[in-house]
Each structure stands twice: as C-alpha cells, then as structure tokens.
Structure 1
Amino acid sequence: MTVLDYSKGNILLIDDTPDNLRLLTSVLSEQGYKVRSVINGEMGLMGATAAPPDLILLDINMPDMDGYEVCQRLKMMEETADIPVIFVSAVDETLDKVKAFGVGGVDYITKPFQVKEVLARVENHLNLRNLQQRLRSLNDELEERVRQRTAELEGLNQTLQAEITERKQIEARLQHLAWHDPLTNLPNRSLLMRRLQQVLEPDADGNSTLFALMFLDCDRFKTVNDSLGHLVGDQLLVAIAQRIQAQLTPQQTLMRLGGDEFTILVKPVHQTGEATQLAEQLQHSMMVPFKIHGREIFMSISIGIVFSAPHYHHPQDVLRDADTAMYQAKAEGKACYRIFTQSMHAHVVQRLHLETDLRRAIEHQEFSVQYQPIVAFSDRRIVSFEALIRWQHPEQGFISPADFIPIAEETGLIIPLGEWILRQACQQFQAWKERLQQQATHSSDLVDQAFPSVSVNLSVRQFTQPNLMERIDCILAETGLDSQLLKLEITESAIMEYSTSAMEILQQLKARQIQLSIDDFGTGYSSLSYLHRFPVDILKIDRSFVNRIGKQGENLEIIRAIVALAKSLNISIVAEGVETDYHQTYLHSLGCEFGQGYLFHKPLSVPQIEKLMFHD
C-alpha cells in the first residue's frame, strides 16, 4: 500500500464548486500534500484560524463572502496573516487580477486551470514559505548560540562563519526567488510593481521620471501548449525571452508577469518614437521561426504601450492601462502594437458594466425572441423563421446583439443564453403548431400546407460542449417539438476549426433529422472544396456578398460558385440581406431558392407573427 508523505505541506481549499474541490483535492493529495477543503468563505476563515495551513487556494466568486473579503480578513489576523493565498478564478480581467494582488494575494490562477500550472505555483510558494521559515529559524539559532558561546567565541569562530555564510546564501536565494521568475530567471511581477513604484515617485528636486511600459502577450500560445505539450511551451517561452532580451539596451528591462505575458520598462524615455520603434523591432524579430526539438514554431506578439503621465500614482494603474492597450492590439488582429488612450479605459469599464448587466439580465430574464421569416423566391411563401435574441435593458433600452453576444461568448454566458433561446423557440413553435391543428379541426377552409420550421443559431461555445446532444434531446422532449421542424445554424469557422469533433456532432444531428445550416458561408475558411465532407442541408450566403449585387465593378463569381456547388451537392441555399427586388431577381436567376431580408420582412415579435399566421 502506498503511504503518502504529508511533509510537503498542508493546503486549505476554499471554493463553492464541489467539482473544483474534488479535482484539486485529488491532484494535490496525489502529490503528497495534506488537503482540507471548505465550500464557503466563513468556513474557510474558521478552518484557517483553527489549524493554520501552509497555503490557501481561494476562489473569488462565492456567495455571501467573496474571495477578496476572505483574503482581507485573513491578512488582518495575526495567526493567518503570513499564510500565502493563491486566487483561483474563471475571471481573467486585468481589474480583477489587480484587485486580487491588492488585497494580499501572492498569485492568480485562471480557470479552467492547467494541473501542471497549479502544481508548479503551489510548490513555488510553499518553497518560498519554507525558506522564510528556515531563515527565521537560523536567525533565532544564531542569536541563541552567540549568547551561550560568548566564552567559546574564539574556538567556534570558524563554525559560526560557515553558518553565517549559509544564512547569507539562503537569504540571497530567497531574495532572488521572491523577485524573479523561476523559468526564465527574469524579474517577476513583484519586482515590476516595485520598480514602477520607484519611477512614479518624484526625486529630491520634485522631478518625475519619464518612462514607458510595454505589455507583451504571445499570440495563440495556448495552441502550442495544447498541441505540443507544456514542456515544449516552457522551452518556447525561454527562447522568446532570450530573443526579446537580445533586442534591449541596459535602459530597457524585460520582466515576465506569468504565462506568456511579458513587460518591458523603458526609462528614461524622451519621445514616443523610442517605444514604438522598439515594438516594431521586436515584432520584426518574431518573424524568424523558433526551433524547439527540431520543430519550427512561428510566434507573434501583441504589444500595448503606456507612457508616464501626471495622473499615475499607483503601479497597478500603469499595468492595467498597458494591459488594456495590449488587448486592443489583440482585438485589431494581433501581431501589432497599440498605444493606450483614455477612451480604451472607458471602453473596458463600459464593457465590464455591460458584462455585469448581462449576468443580471439572464437571471431576471430581460430577453425576448423575435423571428425573421425566410421565404421562397418563387412565390414569397414563408418556409421558415430564424430566431433572433433581443435585449431591452431597463435603463439603456435596446442593446444590439453585436454588443453583448461577443461578451457572452468570451465569458461563457452564451451557453445558458443559447440554451434559453433554443428552449423558447421550440416552445413557441410547438404552441403555434398545436394552435393550427386545433383550428384545422374546426375549419374546413384552412389551407393545408407545410408548417414552417425554426432556425436557431448555435455558438462555437455551445458547439464544443460535451453534453450538447444531451441538452438538445432534453429540450425537444420537454417542449414536444418534432425534431424535423428544428434547424441549427453554425458558422463555417466553427465547423472547420473543430472539424474532427464536428463530423461526429453533425452525424448525430442528422440521425435525429435536425437540419443543419451553415451561417455566413464564404466569409471564413472559404471551404468550398471541403463542403462535401459534412452532412449539411442548407447554406446561407452572407449578406456582405448579397450587398454587392447591382454595384458596378463588383465581382460576383463567389456567389455563382456557392450556388453551383450547393446545387451539385443537393444543398438548399438561403441568401441573407435581401433588400431589393433586383437582389431577388438576380439570386433567383442563379438558382438560389430562398431569401431572408428587409425586402420581405424585418424580425417580427410573437404578436406580429401570430397576426401573420393566424390572421388575428
């Protein structure tokens, strides 16, 4: 029988999610740590004071008492003040990270976490704590020995000198470990904050240092870790650090914040061109591939730049704004640099407020669904409807899906939101079908025609859910809707990016007679040659192509190619954004069968559709 060695340290887990507690407990216990776990902040405080652990892993988002308050209260109590606290959270925003370090946290791990990363950070901080305790112990021992052996000082001088040397070595090692990253040996976040504080303080004459802070993030680095493993990823990070360092002067200090994030402190700086020229030089240097274990790996970096200003008084504000500028560079296509402006910060704050409102809106069900008809070109008969979500904010009024859907995608809120839309659409169409059936039994004049289907968009996050088919089956069973009346719209990029798993999912949808529609076709991977591999029922030609129809000099070969290929594969075609009779005439002449757009109908509310369907 294996006997675990609990001498490695005692760890307290505070998390309101049982799955997280079970996973972390299992992983840490297997490594020889003694683990206790609690499900809320109050129990965490009781557990920490009753039997202080060596380290605490603390979740941020918990009911009643969040992680920030728990950490603050721990730091206020003498018996728990020195216990290192590592925050674990699904929130990856800069403002949350800054707050975590501000209340006393020593580190920050983002969910979903990597096991190796959790173990590495736990071991690092426990080693740091052990070295601190050993240093205090050595100091106490030395003082006691000096008192006891004053008379023997001459004979014990050599031994004492050896112990003093050892103490200095441990102290030097502790200092280095506290201020440097163990992987790259670069200055770490703590040293960055210290140096930023120094440059923010005026000198004896009241003059401030002019500086620039550059925030660097490796583009698509996660792909390397996921495909080649974390060992290759670590070696790549070391190589990236060395290449960046080779471009710098003594006045430019490279530091690693963690993960694939680096910063460069440039001081003094006299004009913006010094930092922007360095940014261009660094990005140019990344054009040469890295060779790791015989593999060539191409890597690019996105850079945010912030310059010193009189309103900066705290290091975390400088770092926040540099991070904001970096994310702006990411949003504008990656592999570029952007200089921070106040409008960027205002946008981040606005986005944070919108995310908060979005969470509340989901809880309070502030959303509604409208349906835009899809018609047959031949007789303008409605054959289907597309379900479109609408948000009427109680204070701001209508908020466009283009503003909140990307936030829902990034935060994962799109999963409950998308499921709600699917359930609403299925319930509504089942109710309409039952109403038509009742009318049919009482009216001999009712025209017998096919009941229209409903199309629901499926996001990338939903498409990659492990239990996607289970959730769809559950909703169809709850609402009673015939699966043949449901169409799911998926973007071309989602299918191509997850082509292996996509094939299995699409086949399962086909087995349930759920039709599949590829949305925005032609704007993503231009995968005309791969289309035959997937069991697709409908292609939706993106409105950007339809808008070109009738404009002089526009090449419309892509529309002809899409229509010809779809017809050869017996796939139906729906054109989006049909706004003029000329659009309809041209598309119909090519063989396109169906259209959707303002020429026929705008998105309609439930009462408007009922007036249309039931002649109310």
Structure 2
Amino acid sequence: MSDTFTIPADEVTGRILVVDDTATNLYILSKLLARSGYEVYQAQDGAAALDMASAHQPSLILLDIMMPGMDGYEVCTRLRAMPETAHIPIIFLSALDSSVDKVLAFSHGAADYVTKPFQPEEVLARVRHQINLQLAQRQQQYLNAELERRVQDRTHQLELAHQQLLEVAMSDRLTRLPNRLSFVKQLGNVMAQAQIEPEQHFAVLFLDCDRFKRINDSLGHRVGDQLLKEIASRLTRIQHSHSTVAIIARFGGDEFALLLTPLADRQAVVLVADEVLTALAKPFALADRKIFMSASLGIVWGDASYAAAEHLLRDADVAMYRAKDCSYSQYLWFEPAMHNRAVHLLQLETDLRLALERRELEIYYQPIVELCGLRIVGFEALVRWRHPTQGLVFPGHFISFAEESGLIVPLGEQVLEMTCADIARWERSGAISPEITVSVNMAAQQLLQPDIVARIHHFVETAGIAPHRLRLELTERSILNNHAFIDGVLRALQHRNIQLSIDDFGTGYSALSYLHTLPVDCLKIDRSFVQPMTARPDSLGIVPLIINIAKTMNMQVIAEGIETITQLRQLQQLGCEYGQGYLFQKAVPADVAIALLKRPLIAWTREASA
C-alpha cells in the first residue's frame, strides 16, 4: 500500500472570497489572485459576504473592516458563529493601522491583518501562507484519516489472525478435534458452574487405545494417523447422538477425552462408555486390511469437590491405567484408593531411586540342599531393602514395580555386584568348597541390555571369582519373548563358564519346543507345584514330568518352596536332586549363610530319615 496521501484538486488551488465596498479594490485584488491561480468570489457588503461564504465555502476570505451597514468585525463574528464557515481563515484588509485596531481584529477571530494601501506581493505572500497552512492541515487530516483506516484494517487483520491462531492453539491438527487446552478450558467452565449449582453433575471419560504402538511399529505412522482420524470420526458420531457429550478432545498420541454434562445419574455415563467401546471394537479398514482396536476407559464423576480441572483429569488418567491393567473390565470408575496407590507408587519410585544411590539394598541367601545327602550345595541370592523408616522390606513389595518402571536394570546390576563381592570374600576366606554355587535372578529387561554379557563379565572379573560359582536364573517369559536375542546371550555366558537356570519352570510359558537347544544347566520347579504335595500320589501334579524332562536333557532339577517333611520325602522318591525352602532355612544375611556350612543339619536330617 502506498504511503503517499493526496487531497482533492479543488482544495489544492484554493477559493478566495474578497469582500470590499470599493469596486477598485475588488477589481485589483480579484485580478491579482486570479493570475496566481486562485478561484475568486466577490462581495461588496457584509450580507453578501455571509451568503457567498456559506454557499461557496471558500478557502480564505479577504475582508475589509470599514464598510457601510455591517462592518468587517461583525461579519467576522457572524462567520465564526456559523458551523459551516467557522473554520475559514480571515485576513482583514483595512486602512486602520493602529495597534488597537489590529488587536481588535484578532480578538474577533482574524487569522492575519494587511493595511491599506496594500502591496500586491505582501497580499499574495499572506494568502499563500494561509492557503499552505490549510493545505498542511488538510494533508494532516487526510494522513490521520488514512492512518486510522490502516490501523482499523490492521486491527481487523490481527483479530482474524488471532482468531486463526486461537483455533490452531485450541484444536488438534491431525483429527480436527479440540485439543487438551480447549478441553481443560471448557471443563473449567463446567466445574465453575458446578460450584454455583452443586446439583449439576458432569463426568469425564479418559480413553487410551490398547496396543496402538503395535500399529505404528508394524504398519507405519501414516496408517497410525489414519486410524486416529477414524477413531475421532467414530467418537464424533457418538457426540452427535448424545446431547450430554459436550466436547470430545484428543490429548495427544492415542489418548482422547469426553466431557459429559449435564447428567442425571451415572447410568447415562455407562451408556456412553459402552457405546464408545462398541464403536471402537468394530474393525477399521485401513492399508487394505482390517485392523481391530480396543480401548481402556477411566471415568470420573464430577462434582463440586474438585477444585482444579487438572486434578480431575489426573484421577481419570489413573482410573484409565487401572482399567488397562484390569483383566475383567475395559472401563473403571475412579475411586480414591486409586489415587492413593498412584501416590504410593510415586513415593516408591523416589525411595527406590534413593535406595540405589545410597546402596540400601542387602543380599540374603537361602541354602540350596542336596535332597539325598541333605547337605548345602549352593545358595540363592535374594534382595532385601533396608528402608530408612520402614525397616527391612521384602522383594514382593518392590520388585514388580522396579520391573514396570525400568529400575530393575540398575537394581539387578547392584544385586549382581554385591553377590559377586560376597562370593569373593567367601573364596578368600576358604569358607566354601569348589562345588558351592550362588544363583542370582535376572529380569528380562536386564537380559535385553546390548552389553549385558560384558557387564556380567565385568562384575565377575572385578570380584575375581571363579565364573562357575555364578548361576543366573532366568524366567521362561524372558526367554520365550525374545528368544532370538536371548539365545546368543546365553551361549556367550555359557562360553564364559557361567551356569544358567530356568526359574519357575512350568508356570505357563512352556519352552519345551526348543528347550533342548538352550545352554541351560538346571530347571527349578516352581513352589506352586511343590506346595500341594502330600502323601497321596494324586497330589504330585506335573512334578514327576518336570523331573523326567530335566533328567532326559541331562539337567539338574531344584524344587522350590519345600516346607514339610512329606514334601521332602516325595521329592526324594521322585529322584529330585536338589531343593530349597523353609524346611531347611529361610534366607539369611551373608555371614549367617556361610556359617550354615559348618553347622550339621541334624534336626531335619533325622526327621527325614525316620
């Protein structure tokens, strides 16, 4: 847009009204001004001057003072009183040249004063000056008007841009649904209304797609994005059919949220939740195939007790994750106990991280006994946590969480390091015979570390122990889920003379199909199979089968959880070589464990042989 401003041409040249009762003066002034390019009007008395000024709106008036009838002062006063002429500058031309006369002229509103007889050059100079002042004023007026118009245009453009930015900021680019910010804003309004009208109920449904990552990993992110659009479309159709669904938003990733209001009861929420799950359970036609998708829902019943939208969304998120972990329901209502659990897990993670930094973990050892000779042939290393306020914490309270949070990797390394250090101390003191081994549990996350073999070798080398002393216990799950990678790891460990054992064998993940190909030295019978054993033959379950499998494959077999003499006798008769359990000894600290090697096992030895 140009920055040059123009005013109409007729206002540039100027129109001048000359008022004088002397014809000669009128003639001279008119001719002088016309030659200079001005449009000139004439009036010989005051009344005519008023009419001409009102009709033609001149740019300037040259006004004589001494005129018959209405003098110049009165004409000037009347011109200033009329709105249409009040702005016109007036130059008095008069033979009166005293200071009093000039002051009187200016007091009546004159813009300038020229005495008669006048000089043409002076008149023209004063006229041009007044015309130029007017032009400057008009130019400034036009400039101000144009600037105001531009400001208004820019303001309008900014308002449009702001609205567009607001729409972008408040909506999800992929699905075109409102986003989290928009949802929180509307939820905040509903919650504020609930404070005023407590009987107005609302609910939030927080939705997360199950196994969505598998879609991205297998079919690519483009198909994943298409799936999210289809999910948004199905949710939108549900919104159109339910007046209570106030807003549906995508929170990011594969998470969506629905705000329902107003609500009479919880049954209305259940109806929407069921419809959402049913809609998403139908196959999606994408990438020339049918894709099936399920979802988990967390539901919060809103009321005046919530002070912040984020608190309500937090609870909905907690309920959703509880539903995801639940095997019997795809949606769960939030309960305060869920929040308490979430707070507990957060504190547990903090405490566990500090425990690793402060090395609060301790290793206890449970003896592994040869069942025929009833002598100790090894130990299983079991971790304990010496909590600064809770005392000794058993692994059942933190190991599963450590696996979920990923802390199992540093925790497992610390356990392995401490165990190797204990073995080294025992070896240096001559307290253990060459046949004594120590078993350490290894989680799946540990085995999947790219440098796991090197790290295990580092701990063994640093401690300076014989590698055969160490037996790593692996679960069937960790082997089966990643057998291609794990097989190479196990063979590398076997090459370094580190023994390997399958823990909890037979608990649901059978590795029989390729068990004979694995470099495994031992099978451990899970305590769940040992506990039911009595003197009755039908109580043995699959224990005889596991023992026969181990013998066929030339593996050792260890029974866990032996607590009674009857269980011991049954295992001896079945030919089980080794066992551990409370019948022999609970897990004890390292110094106590090593002392057990010097203590005769008289009590249960006599009882077992009776």
Q: Which TM-score applies when normalising by structure 1? A: 0.69
Q: Compute the RMSD of aligned alpha carbons.
A: 3.0
Please say if 1:196 is aligned against 2:187: yes
Q: Structure 1 residues 287, 586: closer, same or farther in 2, change over 3 A?
A: farther
Cα deviation for residue 350 of structure 1 reads 1.8
What's the counterpart of residue 250 of structure 2? 256
Deviates more, 1:275-284 or 1:389-398: 275-284
CA contact (8 A) 2:244 2:263 kept: no
2:218 matched residue in structure 1: 227
Given that 2:298 and 2:317 are in contact with CA atoms closer than 8 Å, whether structure 1 keeps it comes out as: yes
Q: Does 1:526 align with 2:510?
A: yes
- Is contact 1:516–1:538 with CA below 8 Å preserved after alignment? yes
**How far does the alpha carbon of each residue in 1:444-474 deviate from its partner, in whole angstroms, 9 at most, with x for none?**
xxxxx54310111112221111111111111
Q: Which residue identity is paired with 2:449?
A: Q
Give the corresponding residue for 1:210: 201
Query: 1:85-142 CA deviation, whole Å, 9 max, x = no partner?
Result: xxxxxxxxxxxxxxxxxxxxxxxxxxxxxxxxxxxxxxxxxxxxxxxxxxxxxxxxxx
1:555/1:289 CA distance change after superposition, 3 Å:
farther
CA contact (8 A) 2:535 2:566 kept: no
SS in 1 for 2:378: strand
Q: How does 1:569-588 map to 2 (within 5 A)?
A: 569-588=553-572
Q: Indicate whether 1:409 and 2:403 are aligned.
A: yes
Identify which of 548, 555, 561 aligns with 1:564: 548
Q: Which runs of structure 2 are paired with 1:144-543 in the superposition (5 Å)?
A: 148=143, 150=145, 170-202=161-193, 206-207=197-198, 209-248=200-239, 249-252=242-245, 253-333=247-327, 336-436=330-430, 450-543=434-527
Contact 1:283 1:335 in 2 (8 A): no
Query: In 2, Cα distance between the equivalents of 1:552 and 1:338?
Result: 44
Q: For 1:180, give the aligned amino acid.
A: S
Give % identity: 41
Aligned residue runs from structure 1 range 99-118, under 5 A? none
Counterpart contact for 2:559–2:576, Cα < 8 Å: yes
- For 2:594 and 2:352, locate their aligned partners in 1 and report how far apart those are by CA, in whole Å: 29
Size of the aligned set, in residue pairs, is 458
Residue 597 of structure 2: SS of its match in structure 1? helix
Change (3 A) 1:518 1:277: farther
CA contact (8 A) 2:195 2:304 kept: no
Q: 1:240 to 1:578 in 2, by over 3 A?
A: farther
Distance verdict in 2 for CA 1:272–1:528, change over 3 Å: farther
Give, as a single letter, the amino acid of the residue that structure 1 aligns with 2:513: S
TM-score by length of 2: 0.69
Aligned residues of 2:376 and 2:597 also touching (Cα < 8 A): no
Q: Secondary structure at the match of 2:281?
A: coil
Q: 2:528 matched to which residue of 1?
A: 544
Displacement of 1:336: 1.7
1:151 Cα deviation from its structure 2 partner: 5.2
Distance 1:529 1:453 in 2: 28
Farther off after superposition, 580-589 or 318-327: 580-589
Q: Following TM superposition, by how much is the alpha carbon of 1:584 offset from its aligned partner in structure 2, in angstroms?
A: 2.4
Query: Relative to 1, partners in 2 of residues 1:153 and 1:383: Cα closer, same or farther, differing over 3 Å?
Result: closer
Residue 531 of structure 1: CA displacement? 2.2
Q: Is the 8 A contact 1:375 1:594 kept in 2?
A: yes
Do the aligned residues in 2 keep the contact of 1:519 with 1:541 (CA within 8 Å)? yes
In 1, the alpha carbon distance for the partners of 2:572 and 2:214 equals: 43
Distance 1:165 1:389 in 2: 69
Tell whether the 8 Å contact from 1:540 to 1:576 is kept in structure 2 after alignment. yes
Structure 1 pair 576–360 and aligned structure 2 pair: CA distance change class (3 A): same
Structure 1 residues 337 and 530: CA distance shift in structure 2, 3 A:
farther
Q: Output the CA distance in 2 between the equivalents of 1:172 and 1:524.
A: 58
Gaps of at least 5 residues in structure 2 are 1-140, 601-610
> Which deviates the most, 192-201 or 393-402?
393-402
Q: Cα distance, 1:282 vs. partner?
A: 2.8
CA contact (8 A) 2:315 2:334 kept: yes
Q: 5+ unaligned residues in a row in structure 1: which ranges? A: 1-145, 440-448
Partner secondary structure for residue 268 of structure 1: strand
CA offset at residue 167 of structure 1? 5.3
> For 2:535 and 2:343, how far apart are their aligned partners in 1?
41
Distance 1:212 1:273 in 2: 11
Change (3 A) 1:594 1:268: same
Task: Report the CA distance between 1:368 and its aligned residue.
Answer: 0.8
User: Residue 203 and residue 472 in structure 1: after superposition, are their counterparts in 2 closer, same or farther (change >3 A)?
Assistant: closer
In 2, Cα distance between equivalents of 1:551 and 1:239: 61
| Contact preservation (8 Å) 2:535, 2:570 | no
Question: Shift of the alpha carbon at 1:268?
Answer: 1.4
Aligned CA distance change for structure 1 residues 504 and 342 (closer, same or farther; 3 Å): same
The one-letter amino acid paired with 1:254 is I
Cα deviation for residue 379 of structure 1 reads: 1.6
Cα distance between partner residues in 2 of 1:533 and 1:320: 48
What amino acid does structure 1 have at the position aligned with 2:273? A
Q: 8 Å contact 2:194–2:304 — kept in the other structure?
A: no
Q: Secondary structure at the match of 2:449?
A: coil
**Is the contact made by 1:200 and 1:209 (CA closer than 8 Å) also made in structure 2?**
no
Question: For 2:373, what is the secondary structure of its paired residue?
Answer: coil
Which residue among 568, 579, 586 is the counterpart of 1:595? 579
* Structure (1 or 2) with the larger CA radius of gyration: 2
Aligned 8 A contact 1:539 1:573 in 2: yes
CA apart distance, 1:250: 3.6
Task: Give the counterpart of 2:593 among 595, 602, 609.
Answer: 609
